[in-house]
Structure 1
Amino acid sequence: MGLISLIWGIVAMILMLFALIPFLGIANWLVIPFAAVGAIIAALGILFTSPGNRGRAKTGLVLNGIVIVVAIVRLNLGFGLI
């Protein structure tokens, strides 16, 4: 689950960078739920993995969290349209 969440976080980060382009900010409405699912997968990975093997899941959780925060800030700046 850790590897899945890490890959999910990388894909979410790429989608977020695409949504930072002016006039494509409406894509953030799709990026936030996508990253939220990745964060849930990462949390499950942390929960069900032994303490020594949680690095990928923690990294996936951080990546997805960063994407969610940046996307929400971007939506607030552009009112979800710009």
Structure 2
Amino acid sequence: MISTLKKLHWLGVLMLLTGMGMLWLTPLSQQLGAMVMIACLIGLGLVLMAPYPVLLLIDWAQKQDPAANAGSDKNDRP
């Protein structure tokens, strides 16, 4: 599942960069149809990029050792 989300993440980065390049480097951004296409590229790129870092954070949190923090509540009280 992580490899699929990683591929989608890079596809989103590519879509975002393509949209930003079209916005900054071409005069197409002055036409209505091109504005919609640029907005869709940027928006969908950001949506495709979002799940991968969240999954990495969840995976990292699950790998943490819960036994190391189990006794911390007992030592904090006087």
Question: Structure 1 length as normaliser, TM-score?
Answer: 0.55
1:29 Cα deviation after fit: 2.4
Q: Which residue of 2 aligns with 1:43?
A: 20
1:31 Cα deviation after fit: 2.2
Q: Which residue of 2 aligns with 1:75?
A: 56
CA contact (8 A) 1:25 1:74 kept: yes
Q: Which residue of 2 aligns with 1:16?
A: none
SS at match of 2:50: helix
| Gap runs ≥5 in structure 2 | 61-78
CA contact (8 A) 1:38 1:61 kept: yes
1:32-82, Cα deviation, whole Å (9 max, x unpaired): 222111111111122212323311111110111111122221222234xxx
Q: Which residue of 1 aligns with 2:39?
A: 58
CA contact (8 A) 2:19 2:39 kept: yes
* % identical equivalent positions: 7
Alignment root-mean-square deviation, CA: 1.8
Instruction: Select the structure with the greater relative contact order (CA < 8 A; seq sep ≥ 6).
Output: 1
- For the pair shown, the structure with the greater C-alpha radius of gyration is 2
Equivalent pairs counted in the alignment come to 56
Change (3 A) 1:50 1:57: closer
